[in-house]
């Protein structure tokens, strides 16, 4: 699940950049028909936010199951080391 979130984040970000590149080129070409690009960009943002959300809320301690806010090596609740 974590890997999936990372990958979808990376892919959504790349697609978003390409999409913005296309949108920029179209605008430079005085082509304002960018509805599709705008929708793709918006969809990418949703995926990016969902992935970040997923990453934060799946970051649980394997020992006590508490949500870890920091990315430290030790759990701030039970003090166990997390690999
Ligand atoms: Zn813990």
State the distance from the centre of ligand 1 to the C-alpha of 78, rounded, in angstroms: 4
- Give the C-alpha distances (Å, rounded to integers) separating 9 from 14, 37, 53, 55, 77: 9, 18, 11, 10, 28
Residue 3 confidence (pLDDT): 76
pLDDT in tens, the chain (83 residues): 567 778 888 899 999 999 999 999 999 999 999 999 999 999 999 998 988 887 777 788 889 988 877 777 888 889 898 87
State the distance from the centre of ligand 1 to the C-alpha of 82, rounded, in angstroms: 8
List strand residue ranges (DSSP E) for the chain, in order.
none
Residue 66 confidence (pLDDT): 86
HSE-up (13 A, CA, CB side) for residue 42: 6
State the distance from the centre of ligand 1 to the C-alpha of 3, rounded, in angstroms: 21
Q: Which domain holds residue 63?
A: 1-83
Locus of tokens 């699940």? 1
Number of structural domains the chain divides into: 1
Q: What's this model's pTM, rounded to 2 decimal places? A: 0.64
Residue 14 confidence (pLDDT): 95
State the distance from the centre of ligand 1 to the C-alpha of 2, rounded, in angstroms: 18
d(CA 7, CA 1): 10
């Amino acid at each position: 699940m974590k890997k999936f979130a990372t990958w979808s984040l990376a892919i959504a970000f790349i697609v978003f950049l390409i999409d913005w590149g296309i949108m920029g080129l179209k605008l430079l070409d005085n082509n304002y028909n960018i509805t599709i690009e705008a929708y793709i960009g918006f969809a990418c943002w949703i995926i990016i936010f969902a992935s970040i959300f997923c990453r934060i809320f799946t970051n649980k301690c394997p020992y006590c199951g508490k949500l870890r806010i920091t990315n430290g090596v030790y759990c701030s609740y039970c003090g166990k080391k997390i690999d």
